[in-house]
Amino acid sequence: MNTADKVSIIKTKLGTGSINIFGLPMSGKDTQGVRLAEALGAKFLSSGIIIRTKEAETKQNYTHNGALIPTNVFYEWVLPYFSTPDLQNYPLILSSIGRWYGEEDTVIDATAKANHPIKAVILLDLSEDSVTARFETAKTLNDRGNRADDSDPATFRTRLAEFHTKTLPVLQHYDTLGLLIKVNGDQSRDAVFQELVDKLYQFLA
């Protein structure tokens, strides 16, 4: 079966459900999430984009040092997006929404109540060496909007530590629920996308 047919079946099986994509910093979550959303006719929501926008609007800066946003603020700023009328009839592709252990059950409940139940969770699986190499490349190219976490090594190291201490337990919980799919993120963008589609098709079909 070709990729287009697999995408069509994934879209049918997904309905208005959600797919949540996780990975280390620089793993390609937003890149793959946007591409998947375009393929499925879905809407893309990134917790990072939402939070940075809210920080600018409110002149608050929770994440400047690479730490995750406090859970209560995450609930206030991010969860209401699931019920946005413009998203009502669409599937959602989520980029790392609910990164702190304990948030995932609330995200599951919120998406279900908004008629966007989580159908699968993707982990773009890369080593720290690989994402660190990408970090160094991005810092040299300066092609990611001058974000502090893409230029400051200490901030980047904090983000890595936050993933290991706070987000890995989230992924373990999703795995226990039978929702987790691991995709080799240490490939070309096209190869990652192809594996993502193949595994989603196998999982949802």
pLDDT tens for 170-181 read: 999 999 999 999
* Cα 167 to Cα 136: distance, rounded to the nearest angstrom: 23
**Which amino acid is it at 130?**
S
Helices 103-113 and 168-176: crossing angle, nearest 10°? 60
Residue 25 is classified by DSSP as: T
Q: Would you state the pLDDT for residue 58?
A: 92
Starting at the edge strand found earlier in the chain, the sheet holding 43-46 runs 43-46, 92-95, 18-23, 118-125, 180-184
Extents of the domains making up the chain = 3-204
Q: Residue 13's Cα: distance from chain center in Å?
A: 20
3-204 maps to which CATH number?
3.40.50.300
Q: Is the predicted pLDDT of residue 145 greater than 60, yes or no?
A: no
Residue 102 is classified by DSSP as: T
Question: How confident is the prediction for the chain on average, in pLDDT?
Answer: 92
Residue 113 and residue 170 in contact, taking contact as beta carbons nearer than 8 Å: no
Residue 144 and residue 136 in contact, taking contact as beta carbons nearer than 8 Å: no
End-to-end Cα separation, the chain, in angstroms:
12
Q: Would you state the pLDDT for residue 177?
A: 97
What is the model's pTM?
0.91
Q: From the CB of residue 16, how many other CB atoms can be counted at a distance below 10 Å?
A: 18
Q: Which of 52, 22, 34, 75 shows the shortest CA–CA distance to 149?
A: 52
In tens, the pLDDT along 108-131 reads 999 999 999 999 999 999 988 888
Span 13-21, mean pLDDT?
A: 97
* Confidence label for 139 from pLDDT (cuts 50, 70 and 90): low
Q: From the CB of residue 141, how many other CB atoms can be counted at a distance below 10 Å?
A: 9
**Which amino acid is it at 185?**
G
* Cα 181 to Cα 174: distance, rounded to the nearest angstrom: 9
* Confidence label for 140 from pLDDT (cuts 50, 70 and 90): low
Cα angle: 118, vertex 122, 155; to 5 degrees: 110
